[in-house]
Amino acid sequence: MTIKEVCEKYDITPDTLRYYERVGVIPEVNRTKGGIRDFSEEDIKWVENAICMRSAGVPVEMLIEYVRLFQQGDGTLEARRNLLIEARAEVQKQLDKYQSTMDRLNYKISRYDEALKTGILSWDDKQ
């Protein structure tokens, strides 16, 4: 798959994909004799992982470390597992924050629903 095809499939820019490769968020991609990146199925899995993790807020540095450890082989299984646990904890913090916001929004909407039924909106609900 070419860089253009990968970018179209995942709705990312070529600059983002090149950056991910340059800094090590994804392993180096093989190239054709003409120097064109030729993404294999394995490369695509790395791209999918990077997009997923970044969209969840996992830091680039953590992804770089994960790829580096992966390339060192099975002797790094525990270290990779620990990185994933750390990433999960960070994502959970974000989920908790969003859940708190969602709870507040649901409460406020329920108060407005009640006000629409009764015609009364208390001062506390106006905020």
Q: What is the average per-residue pLDDT within 11-24?
A: 96
Q: Is the pLDDT of residue 48 over 80?
A: yes
Tell me how far CA of residue 27 lies from CA of 8, 35, 82, 85, 118, in angstroms. 20, 16, 20, 21, 61
**Of residues 46, 5, 49, 9, the one with CA closest to residue 28:** 46
Res 126: pLDDT = 60
pLDDT digits (tens, 9 = 90+) for 76-92: 999 999 999 999 999 99
Residue type, position 67, single letter = V
pLDDT digits (tens, 9 = 90+) for 58-117: 999 999 999 999 999 999 999 999 999 999 999 999 999 999 999 999 999 998 998 899
CA distance 77 to 22: 24
Res 125: pLDDT = 62
- Taking the C-alpha atoms of 64, 65, 67 and 71 in order, what is their torsion angle to the nearest 10 degrees? 140
Lowest mean pLDDT among 53-57, 113-117, 123-127: 123-127
Q: What is the residue-wise DSSP string for 47-99?
A: HHHHHHHHHTT--HHHHHHHHHHHHH-GGGHHHHHHHHHHHHHHHHHHHHHHH
Domains within the chain, CATH numbers bracketed: 3-126 (1.10.1660.10)
What whole-number percentage of the chain has pLDDT above 70?
Answer: 96
Res 127: pLDDT = 64
Mean pLDDT over the full length of the chain: 93
Res 121: pLDDT = 78
Question: For residue 20, what are the contacts with CB-CB under 8 A and spacing of at least 6?
Answer: 26, 47, 50
